[in-house]
Amino acid sequence: MSVMRQVARPMLAWIFIQFGFNHLRDPSAAAPAAEAVVTPLAEYLPGFPKDHEQAVRLNGAVQVGAGAMLAMGRMPRAAALALAASLVPTTVAGHAFWKIEDPQERNQQLVHFLKNLSMLGGLLLAAADTGGRPCLARRSRAATAHARRDVRLACRSAQAANTARGVKERLPGR
């Protein structure tokens, strides 16, 4: 792993660990804002908690766990995707600047919204980072090309063996 990844991943993950831990400890501060997102999600997703504080705790647990995994470099792509998935409802619920009338408060929420949007971009980059190894699609294409080549070689070998057998049978003295 490069030094850049060793430094950047914990830097990206720290805010999720910090806020996730805070939401685990005291979900009451974020629960009222979460209502706008939790209620529709609870209707569409079976098993999703209907209680707003439980949903905030669940989101906090995902952020702490996935943030720690990203910081330590354990399954970083999956951890980054989990953090990205937890960040979208958090951003929509917590920073709905379009609903605020006061220009100063609206601007502050817009700044937080854009900050979360920037973090989402960083998480998507982290999720796409293969650590210098070829991505799954490229490895699949290479494996397919190797398999096709092997099949072609096997067919040519079989044809050559069949031709050689036919030639042997036509030779005099057999």
Give the model confidence (pLDDT) of 124-171 as tens digits: 999 988 776 776 777 788 889 899 998 999 888 888 888 877 777 777
User: Whole-angstrom Cα distance, residue 137 to residue 38?
Assistant: 35
Consecutive H or E run containing 29:
none
State the pTM of this model. 0.70
- pLDDT tens profile 73-82: 899 999 999 9
Q: What are phi and psi of 49, to 5 degrees?
A: -65, 135
User: Does the structure show a pLDDT above 90 at 63?
Assistant: yes
- pLDDT tens profile 116-130: 999 999 999 999 887
pLDDT value of residue 60? 92
* Per-position DSSP letters for 30-86, written without gaps between them: THHHHHHHHHHHHHHSTT--SSHHHHHHHHHHHHHHHHHHHHHTSSHHHHHHHHHHH
Q: Are 61 and 20 in contact (CB under 8 A)?
A: yes
